[in-house]
Amino acid sequence: MKTAQTIVFKGGVWRMRKQDDHRGRLLAALEVGERDIAAGRAVPYTPDLLKQIEQEARTHAANDHPINPDVIL
């Protein structure tokens, strides 16, 4: 029989591993971005780009596209 302490401990370990995984994915994405910038493959962040991103997000939401797990909410 599991004690409350065991359950809390396992929950904490699970959450820590999940955060570590999230942090690792973020760092990997940042490294890719840095390499792209260094290679001149960057897109300037402009009001028009933001409008395009917002429109694509609305279209995807309306069509029930799954959210990319790498998107940080």
pLDDT on residue 47:
96
**Structure tokens of 62?**
């309306």
pLDDT on residue 68:
81
Q: Can you give the pTM of this predicted structure?
A: 0.58
- Calpha distance 43→53 (Å, rounded): 12
Q: Which sequence spans correspond to the domains of the chain?
A: 4-62
Q: What is the pLDDT of residues 21-42, one digit of tens each?
A: 888 888 998 999 999 999 999 9
Torsion angle of C-alpha atoms 6, 12, 15, 17, degrees rounded to 10: -90
**Structure tokens of 5?**
């302490």
